Amino acid sequence: MHRYHIQFADHRTTVSVDKMLAAMLVIKLGHEPETPEGNRAVREWLQARLPDKVGNDKGIGKRTSQHAQALIVEAIADKKLSMAYDDWMVGQ
């Protein structure tokens, strides 16, 4: 697991991301996995997206790490798979 510190409006939290998912996102972002630049790129990417996904309010049980991993899966999945998933979700 990789851990990233994410700043929300009035608090900071640590999210855990599976090592393989983090590496795939690093590669997609154009960096080398397991490097300071790659880790920084993932943290900045999560910082730009995660507060909008989970909100800025404090609260236990927000499942922030799970939301982070879901965002990464959506980002690394190819467009055809993402569209098929969206269609399936709409049909639920």
Look up the pTM and report it: 0.83
Which residue carries 């309010």 as its tokens? Answer: 57
pLDDT of residue 41: 97
Domain spans of the chain? 2-90
Report residue 58's pLDDT band, with 50, 70 and 90 as the boundaries. low
> Tell me: the pLDDT tens digits for 12-55?
999 999 999 999 999 999 999 999 999 999 999 999 999 988 88
Say which residues have a Cβ less than 8 Å from residue 25's Cβ, sequence separation at least 6: 42, 45, 72, 75, 76
pLDDT above 70 for 88 = yes
Cα(20)–Cα(28) distance, rounded to whole angstroms?
A: 12
pLDDT of residue 44: 97
